[in-house]
Amino acid sequence: MSDQRYRKVPSARLSRLASFGQLAGGIAGGVLAEGARKLASGERPRLSDLLLTPANATRVTEQLSKLRGAAMKLGQMISMDAGDVLPPELTDILARLRDAAHYMPPAQLNKVLIAEWGPDWRRRFKHFEARPIAAASIGQVHRATLPDGTLLAIKVQYPGVAESIDADVDNVASLLRISNLLPSTLDIASLLAEAKRQLHEEADYVREAEQMLRYRQLLSGEEAFLIPAPYPEYSGKRILAMDFVPGQSIETLQSESQAVRDRTMGGLLDLVLRELFEFGFMQTDPNFANYRWQPESGRIVLLDFGAARAVPEKTVASYRRLMLAGLAQDHDALRDALIEIGFVSPVTLQRHRPALDGMIDILMAHLGRPGLFDFADRSFVDRVRGHAETIIADKAAWHVPPADTLFVQRKVSGTALLAIRMQARLPLLEMVAAKVGAGD
């Protein structure tokens, strides 16, 4: 592993703001260069095409991975796309944010640990591995051994990340505004406020330990999943110690047999449906790094419960009506449910009903096929995109769904993306029908 992965986290507000300025300047330079190239070749460039270039996506990826925190987290959220909305090449570049975080240099790490545990913190451990075994948007994870031989995984939060959340979210929103990627008429204030609230929750490791215990209780006695246990005596608001549970990256499943991939993805999809319709409580971050897989036991290790939250009954009821309409192949009921849950606005329906109806027909025909559902079959995507482009081109029709809907859908879509990667084949209709009717 290269030492290039070590990079000090900019914790001061001015240094983080300067990074955003550098990012905006780099994007602007890329736009000018690409625009000049297109003009020279006789093309008439569009601003959206100039902004969404692989070079600019690489700039965004690199800068957000340096900043970590809310900035990187928002980039990761955008990356949870199967190439259905964003061009595949941009999706691939943004997907690097899922494992692109740099590490804190040892001196900065030591300073954080002294602040949390005191200057003699090393005496608490038989061994503490200075090189992280994982790094993410808010913190990095170290393996440590207690004097009695117990192995722990210790998540250490980056300095300044929690304090920078509000400013980072506002700066990302400003970048989107300045770059004209979002229309000025689109009101995202409530979404930004909710994003800040959730990110503050994710930065509270005491709260995350509580959610970890909650999931251990919800899934106690189940063979399919393993969840670490927190160690409160070594934990705090900025440090979370837990059992070290071995496992491989969930993406190593791609080389396994169809039966193994189907069984594992069936377990994860079933968990999402249970979270929504049985628990009323969901871990809403589907980042692939939050899942590990044990090939010997076939069990899935669930990690990172900072984004676990209650799902409002209204949102659960709306998803139930949406899925029941889909199961019944009731076009009108499905369209009404899409409006009720907030995926579609009345304005969009009024301005683009034919395009919306065309998308619904394609999706219902694809999802409603009997037998095993093949997640790798993306034959419908281009036809859906053809209708969607009509709506996307009309910025006056753009609409932001309610935050609760977006957070649930992030988990649903992220799990589906993983199923696509694994080329899973599952009895989707039967699985949904079994859970949707559970509360009736």
Residues annotated as catalytic are: 285
H helix intervals, 328-423? 331-341, 346-367, 381-392, 403-421
- Using CB atoms within 10 Å of the CB of residue 46, give its burial: 0 to 12 exposed, 13 to 18 middle, 19+ buried: exposed
Let me know the angle formed at the C-alpha of 368 by 364 and 373, rounded to the nearest 5 degrees.
120
Let me know the angle formed at the C-alpha of 136 by 132 and 138, rounded to the nearest 5 degrees.
110
User: Checking phi first, is residue 240 left (phi over 0); if not, alpha (psi -120 to 50) or beta?
Assistant: beta
Q: Concatenated DSSP letters for 288-302?
A: GGGEEEETTTTEEEE
Burial string for 324-352 (b: 16+ CB within 10 Å, else e) reads bbbbeeeeeebbbbbeebbbbbeebbeeb
> Can you read off the two tokens belonging to residue 19?
């990074």
Q: Please report where in the chains the tokens 């117990």 appear, as a residue.
A: 150
Q: Which residues contact 51 (CB under 8 A, 6 or more apart)?
A: 27, 31, 179, 180, 181
Burial string for 52-66 (b: 16+ CB within 10 Å, else e) reads bbeebbbbbbebbbb
- Greatest extent of the chain over all pairs of C-alpha atoms, in Å: 71
Q: Can you tell me the distance from the alpha carbon of 51 to that of 38, in angstroms, rounded to the nearest whole number?
A: 13
For 85, phi then psi, to 5°, come to -110, -60
Of the CA atoms within 13 Å of residue 201, those in its CB half-sphere come to 18
- Contact criterion met (CB below 8 Å) for 430 and 375: no
Amino acid making up residue 17: L
For 302, phi then psi, to 5°, come to -100, 130
Q: Can you tell me the distance from the alpha carbon of 2 to that of 72, in angstroms, rounded to the nearest whole number?
A: 21
